[in-house]
Structure 1
């Protein structure tokens, strides 16, 4: 089934966190038919008061539709999958019998395992998106934008003609609502480059409840990031993704500059007394290290501290 960019298409944001609300909000702002699938409290707030987009270049409230009932997905054309990585398997199992065959799924999640998890559960096309946006939720209806907001999309498997057309249509959809979007022929590598940023920043930001910009003001923290990076690129090479140390450090330097006021999603989760995605970030590197017989002590150290903090989640 080829997805078509049409004015009457049904778009669903499955998981209305900061990332889902940013990209879904940009589409809703341009009067696309967008429904946010969220927990009952957030769905109620969005329906009653709208989605407040507090962005770098504008600040406005957009009237939106939201639901906490997964059955609304029965007429979906495009689903922006933005649930936490630890919820991917359960969520996809829950919607498997609801999603129509025409529906196309775009994962805008952290980590690199989600595409494989989702694809093993549903028959619908599942495409990868590398997301570079600094954003956070304030309460249930305000999305605070701290910087950037672009997408790189692609197919983790060998693309067919239908896949290529789907990706072009998705790109067109976002480009006309001022969201830069491009198709990457090397989406696996791009996913790992973003994964690098997650592993470098998320845990430390969470442990210290500190912004990216403030993190890199500490020479000791910069040294810790460098050691995490060295372990990361060693594991990446074994996964047939070649990233040089200098390239990795340059990418991290750019993030600390372009997203200086951002605190990580891990930090936001811990501040809200929620479980994090750490098992799918540094925890994933640790697991791969065990498989390959490679020591990952620096990733293990930040992972252990986040897990300690998670143990206090009630």
Structure 2
């Protein structure tokens, strides 16, 4: 199996790099500036699981001459449209597209551009960041990469992909309930992102304030309410664990969106927050706290784009 990783940023670079480290057939599709950086300095990983400097196979859009068996799409939501234009020749009728994106909107976009038959569900939990010098830093040992057919069936292609992914120790696992896991991941990301970005601090600092825990749980309830109406309801075990994560005393937990905000970088406000607000509005579900976070982050995003 040949895997094309679209993007050598914090997630694509890390997981693709770990697979390439084992000798797996991995190629990175990158922009020209990132290609120059990778050729000069290599793909540098800093991680609790071991540091590495790799010199992987890389291509730019014009170099693609045919379809791959699998494509790991690891870009930000606001980069999706341009990525789709660049990877067209890499997608054949049998190509599996595994999107490592946040939210659910991208699934509709990809199905419309290619085919729903190309899509594999994916839900990733990892804390990585791309430093200004191009190195990728894994911030904690957690790495959980779940994937599966959207209807939960076991097919020869997903079995082959699962075997390919297990060449590296990256927390890869096959899920029979990947659609539900994708919605659950969105709940966690949106909750953590809205809470920490609106309050401008990590969970422990917010929880320690008078009314902090009540605010956290109320915002979580808004998001869960939207998902129960418009998506796939989360499991009770997930909700119990999420409530505990978001209210742990002294927790340094913060979202990647908050880390990007602190660095003055663009954020996925529309994909993670805005899409949920719109889904709630369409069914008449009130989201005063989530809407406040959305407006605040839209102001930030506008300022960043105009800078």
Q: Provide the TM-score with structure 1 as the length reference.
A: 0.85
Q: Indicate how the Cα distance of structure 1 residues 239 and 149 shifts in structure 2: closer, same or farther if over 3 A, else same.
A: same
* 3-state SS of 1:145 partner: strand
Q: Which residue of the other structure, out of 144, 147, 150, is the alignment partner of 2:137?
A: 144
Per mean C-alpha deviation after superposition, the further-off stretch among 213-222 and 56-65 is: 213-222
Q: Distance in 1 between matches of 2:113 and 2:133?
A: 30
Deviations 1:91-133 (A, max 9, x none): 2244334533342211111111212211110136111111011
Per mean C-alpha deviation after superposition, the further-off stretch among 275-284 and 130-139 is: 275-284
Q: Distance in 2 between matches of 1:71 and 1:181?
A: 29
Partner in structure 2 of residue 153 of structure 1: 147
* 3-state SS of 1:311 partner: helix
Q: Which residue of the other structure, out of 21, 31, 35, is the alignment partner of 1:43?
A: 35
Where does 1:1-314 land on structure 2 (aligned, <5 Å)? Answer: 9-69=1-61, 71-72=63-64, 74-123=66-115, 125-147=118-140, 148-156=142-150, 158=151, 164-207=155-198, 210-211=201-202, 216-218=207-209, 220-243=211-234, 247-254=238-245, 263-313=254-304, 314=307
Q: Indicate how the Cα distance of structure 1 residues 23 and 209 shifts in structure 2: closer, same or farther if over 3 A, else same.
A: farther
Q: Provide the TM-score with structure 2 as the length reference.
A: 0.86
Per mean C-alpha deviation after superposition, the further-off stretch among 192-201 and 218-227 is: 218-227
Q: Indicate how the Cα distance of structure 1 residues 254 and 26 shifts in structure 2: closer, same or farther if over 3 A, else same.
A: farther
Where structure 1 has 5 or more consecutive residues not aligned to the other structure, the ranges are 1-8
Task: Give how far 1:252 is off.
Answer: 5.0
Moved over 6 A (4+): none
Q: Distance in 2 between matches of 1:274 and 1:32?
A: 32
Task: Give how far 1:41 is off.
Answer: 2.5
Q: Indicate how the Cα distance of structure 1 residues 122 and 240 shifts in structure 2: closer, same or farther if over 3 A, else same.
A: closer
* 3-state SS of 2:66 partner: helix
Deviations 1:34-58 (A, max 9, x none): 2222233222111222111111121
Where structure 2 has 5 or more consecutive residues not aligned to the other structure, the ranges are none
Task: Tell me how many residue pairs correspond in the alignment.
Answer: 301
Task: Give how far 1:294 is off.
Answer: 0.8
